[in-house]
Amino acid sequence: MTHVNEHGPDAGRVVLDSDDISRALTRLAHEIVERTHGATNLTLMGIPTRGATLAARLAERIAQIQGSPVDVGSLDVTMFRDDLRLRPARALQPTTIPPLGISDRLVVLVDDVLFSGRTIRAALDALSEHGRPQAVQLAVLVDRGHRELPIRADYVGKNLPTSKSESVKVNLLEHDGIDAVAIERGA
């Protein structure tokens, strides 16, 4: 459902409001539990900044659903990006690996937006530095298309067709004071 309004710090076209996001996360949590067949070696790894926040929220919901806590951590991919030389050196974000590690675990990477796929490619490289997962899956809040690599998400909150010149802004309460996803006309 699209809403045209001026909510939030970024005045774009809001395509998901906070209720939409909440419902999407709940659905994703159920999907993950279902398709991993209640796996006990599940580890969520969020990609900072907002992917890590979403991973934490997903972990909460999954814990509620299955009645037991699920491992969650964050995975900074900055140093593994393939476009490092195009901009000045970027600030590094925290990487937190849960105590049981990632080797032999079913790792679900969590990010806010899936676009070219390059961030996920970097995440796979970063992950391989920490161990050898049994399998890796991908959960994203928004898939906006325009893949440049053969990467696909296993769990998608919302498919959002966009043009390349537009940008998708994911606002989360913890960082931006509001939950909303907006599309902005490109520069």
Partner 1 sequence: MKHLLSTADLTRDQAVNVLDTAKQLAAATTQGLGKLPPLRGRTVVNLFYEDSTRTRISFEAAAKRLSADVINFSAKGSSVSKGESLKDTALTLEAMGADAVVIRHPSSGAPHRLAHAGWISGAVVNAGDGTHEHPTQALLDAYTMRQNLRDGEGDLEGVKVTIVGDVLHSRVARSNVILLQTLGAEVTLVAPPTLLPIGVDTWGCEVSYNLDECLEEADAVMMLRVQRERMNASFFPTTHEYSNRYGLNVARMNRMPAGGIVMHPGPMNRGMEISADVADSKRSVIVEQVANGVSVRMAVLYLMLGGTEMGE
How far apart CA 62 and CA 56 sit, in angstroms, is 10
Q: Could you say which of 11, 38, 92, 135 contacts partner 1 (CB under 8 A)?
A: 92
Output Rg (C-alpha) for the chain, integer angstroms.
Answer: 16
How far apart CA 52 and CA 136 sit, in angstroms, is 16
How far apart CA 61 and CA 29 sit, in angstroms, is 6
Site map 46..85 versus partner 1, x via CB under 8 A? ------------------------------x-xxx---xx
Q: Which two tokens stand for residue 9?
A: 């710090």
Number of residues counted as binding partner 1 (CB under 8 A): 20
Residue 100 engages partner 1 in binding (rule: CB under 8 A)? no
Name which of 79 and 151 has its Cβ closer to partner 1.
79
| Shortest Cβ 10–partner 1 spacing (Å) | 25
Residues 134-153 that bind partner 1 (CB under 8 A): none
Strand order in the sheet with 13-16: 13-16, 180-184, 167-171
Residue 91 engages partner 1 in binding (rule: CB under 8 A)? yes
